[in-house]
Structure 1
Amino acid sequence: MDPSPPPHVAPPAGPGRRSLLLGTAAWCAAAAGCVREAGPSAASPPAAGVRTPAGAARATASAPAPPPGTLPAAVPWRPGPGEIEPAAKLAAVRLVEALGTWPAGRGGPRNAAARAAALGISAPRAAELAAEAGPLTPAADQAVVRVIDAQYGGLLPETASVLVPSAQSTRTGSAVREGGTTIDVRLARTSAGWAVTALHPGRPGPAAALGASARAVLARPRIELPPAAAADVRSGAVHESVLRAMLLLAGTYRMSVSVVRSGHPVNVFGTGRPSDHPVGRAFDVWAVDGRPVVDPATPRSLITAFMRAAAAAGSYNVGGPVRLSGGTRPNQFFSDATHHDHVHIGFAT
C-alpha cells in the first residue's frame, strides 16, 4: 500500500493468533487455476512461483492429507497481537471466508448471499456483496478458501480497505482445482462496529511470455507469493524494477508477499493520487523471515534492516511500521497506521 493520510486511531492489542494453515493442497496462480483428478496422486506439490507463506509448511507438516477427491478443512483466520483495528480485519475476513467456502451442492449466488446474510448483513446488501465477489465464488460443487493474511490497503478513522490474499480449493465432480484471489474489502465504521460496504476482487491478466527476471522470481523459494501475486508476475505486467528488487532482497531475506498488482486500490486510499501497485511498480510484504511485520515480538531491527535493504534495492518509497531517517532521496521512508502491518516497496515511473 502507498502512503495515505495518517489516521488518528489508537492501537489496541489484537487478541488471538494468526492462522496460516492452508491445507495440503497445492496453489496455482494462473487465472484458470490448476486441476488435479481424484486418485492416488491427488495431493500435488506447489506450482512453480507459488510459495506457501511463512510457517504454513510447519503447521501442515503433521496434518494428514485429505482423502482423494476431498478438500482441505477450512481454518478460520484470526488476527495476531499488535493489530490496530482487529475488528475491521475480522469483518472483512469473515465475509471472504463465508463467500468462498461452501459444502457440496451449496454453490451459486443465492447460497452465497445467504451465507453473507448469516453474518448479520441485511439481505439486500448480502445479495449485492455476493454479486461483487466474482472469482471468489466460481461455479463448483464445493469450495474451501484459506485466508493467507489480512493487511490494510488504507485505514482512516471512519473507513478502511482490508486486502485479503487467499488461496481456494474447489471441487467439481472428481476434479479438484487450486486457485485463489486477493480481495480489496471496503468497510465503514458504524455504531455497531465495522461493516463491509463493497468488494473488489483482483483479476490478474492472462499468462504471458516472461523474461528472465520474472521466471527467476517465480522459481525462488524465498519469495513467497499468494496466488494472485504469482498470477500478476505470470501476466508479464510487473515492472522489471520490482522483479529485480525481489530477487536482490531474496538473497538475504525470506519474504512473504501479500500484494503486487491485483486486489489493490487504484488510488492511494483516501486520496485521488494513483497508486504504484496497479501499474506493477510496487509490492507489499507482510512477513520477513517468517516473522509477521505486525507482531510486536518481531524484532524491529529485522524490519528496519529490511526496509533499508529495500531502499538500497532501488525503491523510492518504503513504508512500514517504523519511520526511518536518512535515505538517498527526500522522504524515501514513511510510516502510518496503514503500514503498521506490512512493508510497502514502491518504484518510480
Structure 2
Amino acid sequence: MVLPHPLSETPARAVTRRAVLLGTAAWCAGTAACSGGAMRASSAPSASSAASPFTSPSSASGSRAPSASPRTALPPAVAWRPGAGEIEPAAKVAAVRLVEALGTWPAGQGGERAAAGRAARLGIPEATASELAAQAGSLRPPADAAVVRVIDAQYGGILPDTASVLVVCDQPALTGGAVRPGGTTVDVRLSRTADGWRVTALHPAAPGPAVALSAAARDVLAQSRIELPPASAADIRSGAVHDSVLRAMLHLAGSYRLSVSVVRSGHPLDVFGTDRPSDHPRGRAFDVWRVNGRPVVDPATSRALITGFMRAAAAAGSYNVGGPVQLTGGATANQFFSDDTHHDHVHVGFTS
C-alpha cells in the first residue's frame, strides 16, 4: 500500500461513494425544490425564488481580476449551479448560497445586521446567521452595494460528515457612484446533519498588502493564459507566493490555458481532516479548476487532457500532484495522488 507523503494534500480519509449516495440537503432560499429550509441532493438547485436576488441560473466563468470600470450600475447577480460530475453537490450549493447572500446587497443593506437577515432567510437559525455574518470579513467590503458572482466552488476537503468548500468569487461593488472591481475566496465549513448540510463557519481570504514583485510574479500577472481570480491575484501581489510556484505556472502556460482557483489565502491552514500544514498557506501550491477551458470536474472533459496536465505539473517541479485520476510512474512513490477532495481540481504543490 502506498502511503501519502507526510506533507501531501491527501486528507485523512476520503468520503466513500456509498456515503455520497446518502440523503443530503442544502440551505437554500426558499426554492420550489426546498422543504423546511433544506434541499435534497436528488433535486436540482433552482434559481427561481422570491427570496433570492439572482436572476438566471448559470456557472460564472473564471477570469482574471477585473479592471476598474467607469460603470455606475452593478452587473446582475447570477446564481451558481453545480454541473455534471459533482460528488456532493448539495454541500457546494449550501456553501455558495450563503456566500451569495452575504456578499450581495442593494444600497444601504451592507451592514452586519442586514447580512445576518439575508442568511436567516436561507433557513439558517438566527443565532447562527448572526455568527456567520460576523465572520464574513473580506466578503463584506465597505461599499454602498455589491454583487457576488461565483467563479468556482471546489473542495478544500470532503469527508463523510464534514466538508470545506472554497467559494471563489468576483464581487464588483458600487462605491461613491462608481463600480469598482473586487472579489475574494471563502473557505466555508459545513457539517452533515439529519436535515442536510449546514454551514458552521466562514474563513474568508486575507491576502495582505501589495509589495514590490519578483520578475516571475510580474510575468504571471501579465500572462493571459493564466486566469487568476481576485484573491489569487492579490496573493501574488502580496509577495507571499514562492517563485517555484510562479515559474511552474508560467511553464504550464506554455502548453495550456489554466484557470486557477486557489493559491494561498482562502484555503484551509491544514490538510483537511489532519493536523498537517497545507502547502497553500505557505505560498507553495496552487489549484487549477479548469484546463483549456474545460472544467476538471466535468466527466465530458478528456481524461487525457487532465492526466497530461498532471504529468506536466510534475515535470515543472511539483512533488505533490493531486487530481481526479490516480497516476503511476512518478519520480517518487507519492508524487501523484487522487481522492474525492481532488475530484474537482488539480493540486500542484512544491517543497520550496
The residue number in structure 2 matching 1:6 is 13
Which amino acid counterpart does residue 133 of structure 1 have in structure 2? A
Matched, 1:323 2:330: no
**Whole-Å Cα distance in 1 between the matches of residues 319 and 65 of structure 2?**
32
Which amino acid counterpart does residue 59 of structure 2 have in structure 1? S
Structure 2 runs not aligned, ≥5 long = 1-7, 22-40, 46-56
The residue number in structure 1 matching 2:117 is 114
The residue number in structure 1 matching 2:65 is 27
Match of 1:332 among 318, 323, 335: 335
Normalising by structure 1, what TM-score? 0.86
**Alpha carbons of structure 1 residues 27 and 248: separation in structure 2 relative to 1, 3 Å:** closer
The residue number in structure 1 matching 2:72 is 69
What is the CA deviation profile of residues 248-292 of structure 1, one whole-angstrom value per residue up to 9, with x for unaligned ones?
000000000000001000000000000000000000000000000
Matched, 1:152 2:192: no
Bigger RCO (CA 8 Å, 6+ sep): 1
**Alpha carbons of structure 1 residues 324 and 181: separation in structure 2 relative to 1, 3 Å:** same
Coordinate RMSD, CA, aligned: 1.8
Residue 3 of structure 1 deviates from its aligned partner by 1.4
Match of 2:126 among 98, 123, 128: 123
Residue 107 of structure 1 deviates from its aligned partner by 1.4
Q: Secondary structure at the match of 2:117?
A: helix
**Alpha carbons of structure 1 residues 295 and 21: separation in structure 2 relative to 1, 3 Å:** closer
Matched, 1:207 2:214: no
Q: Secondary structure at the match of 1:149?
A: strand
What is the CA deviation profile of residues 70-118 of structure 1, one whole-angstrom value per residue up to 9, with x for unaligned ones?
0000000000000000000000000000000011221100100000000
Match of 1:133 among 126, 132, 136: 136
Contact map agreement 1:108 1:139 (CA 8 A) in 2: no
**How many residues are treated as equivalent by the alignment?**
312
Contact map agreement 2:204 2:266 (CA 8 A) in 1: yes
Match of 1:79 among 79, 82, 91: 82
**Whole-Å Cα distance in 2 between the matches of residues 134 and 8 of structure 1?**
30
Match of 1:197 among 195, 200, 204: 200
Structure 1 runs not aligned, ≥5 long = 29-33, 37-41, 43-67
Q: Secondary structure at the match of 2:281?
A: coil
**Whole-Å Cα distance in 2 between the matches of residues 334 and 201 of structure 1?**
27
Match of 1:94 among 93, 97, 106: 97
Residue 35 of structure 1 deviates from its aligned partner by 5.2
What is the CA deviation profile of residues 105-157 of structure 1, one whole-angstrom value per residue up to 9, with x for unaligned ones?
21100100000000000001000000000111122211101110000000000
Contact map agreement 1:99 1:137 (CA 8 A) in 2: yes
**Whole-Å Cα distance in 2 between the matches of residues 140 and 207 of structure 1?**
21
What is the CA deviation profile of residues 137-181 of structure 1, one whole-angstrom value per residue up to 9, with x for unaligned ones?
122211101110000000000000000111101112312221111
What is the CA deviation profile of residues 1-24 of structure 1, one whole-angstrom value per residue up to 9, with x for unaligned ones?
92112323325698578612589x
Contact map agreement 1:22 1:146 (CA 8 A) in 2: no
Which amino acid counterpart does residue 291 of structure 2 have in structure 1? V
Contact map agreement 1:153 1:264 (CA 8 A) in 2: yes
The residue number in structure 1 matching 2:344 is 341
Which amino acid counterpart does residue 298 of structure 1 have in structure 2? T
Q: Secondary structure at the match of 2:147?
A: strand
Which amino acid counterpart does residue 108 of structure 1 have in structure 2? G
Q: Secondary structure at the match of 2:152?
A: coil
Residue 225 of structure 1 deviates from its aligned partner by 0.3
Normalising by structure 2, what TM-score? 0.85
Contact map agreement 1:245 1:310 (CA 8 A) in 2: yes
Segments ≥4 residues shifted beyond 3 Å: 11-18
Equivalent runs, 1:286-305 vs 2, <5 Å: 286-305=289-308
Residue 293 of structure 1 deviates from its aligned partner by 0.3
Which amino acid counterpart does residue 155 of structure 2 have in structure 1? Y
Residue 330 of structure 1 deviates from its aligned partner by 2.2
